[in-house]
Amino acid sequence: MAPAEYAILAVTLFAAAGLQGSIGFGAGLVAAPVVGMLQPTLLPAFVICLGAVIGLLSVVRERTAIDIRGAGWAMAGRIPGSLMGTWLVVMLPLEMLTWAVALSVLAAVAASFIGWKPVAHRRSLLAAGALSGIMGTATAAGGAPMAIVLQGQEPARVRGTLSAFFLAGSVISVLMLAIAGQVRAEVLITLAAMCPAVILGFLLSGWLNRSIDAARQRMLALGFSIAGSVLLIARLLLF
């Protein structure tokens, strides 16, 4: 990449790390489209490795607030969900699958706005983890189901639990990609070069978090869930 492209990527990852450090998800939503335009060969490994780095930083910072049991139930759902997502990608047209994912998230967000508040218990976390696995595998946008289930809880608990969930998932995905030979030197070198921007963005989120209460975090999470779905639909209609 040219120096100007590195600068664009650094600014993007700064924003992505700040967002995920504040609401617990969203880095891939911000970073993937820009990485795809600047250097498509970095996908998907770069964005998944980025998620692992931010997840690790978040887990360390929010370690006392993590709901270990909740993250575990969600992870138990994510593994079969990822396998189901792989099967659906093979069996269904990608356009049909993407429409189904986007409209499902929009329906859940709409229900949340009119008063539906899911309770984060074993069954809902298993279901959210499974849906996150399906969506993440099929569309690289898997944060919304977990964010919707955890909405309204104490902000640090939401960030910590989401971070633990996505860190575990990212590590598994990175290992699988590495075995398949998809984590190339180019990915690791670019990620290392971008680490200062990622760390600065994450540090900024620590300052922003002082003014984000449960209500604001809920609105941000729902808002970015909508944005992710709209982006998926726009990609279908425009490309």
DSSP-derived secondary structure for 77-141 = HHHHHHHHHHHHHHHS-HHHHHHHHHHHHHHHHHHHHTT-----SHHHHHHHHHHHHHHHHHHS-
Burial label for 104, CB within 10 Å (0-12, 13-18, 19+), is middle
Instruction: Give domain status of residue 197, yes or no.
Output: yes
pLDDT by position in tens, the chain (length 239) = 899 999 999 999 999 999 999 999 889 888 888 888 899 889 888 988 999 999 999 999 999 999 999 999 999 999 898 888 778 877 888 688 778 877 877 887 887 787 777 888 999 999 999 988 887 776 666 788 898 899 888 999 999 999 999 999 888 888 878 888 888 999 999 999 999 999 999 999 999 898 888 888 888 888 888 887 888 788 778 76
Burial label for 127, CB within 10 Å (0-12, 13-18, 19+), is middle
Give the number of domains in the chain. 1
Q: What is the distance between the alpha carbons of residues 184 and 41, in angstroms, rounded to a whole number?
A: 10
Query: In terms of residue numbers, what domain contains 57?
Result: 3-233
Are the C-beta atoms of residues 162 and 145 closer than 8 Å to each other?
A: no
Instruction: Give domain status of residue 86, yes or no.
Output: yes
Instruction: Give domain status of residue 239, yes or no.
Output: no
DSSP conformational letter for 183: S
Instruction: Give domain status of residue 116, yes or no.
Output: yes
Instruction: Give domain status of residue 149, yes or no.
Output: yes
DSSP characters over 48-63: HHHHHHHHHHHHHHTG
Instruction: Give domain status of residue 238, yes or no.
Output: no
Instruction: Give domain status of residue 91, yes or no.
Output: yes
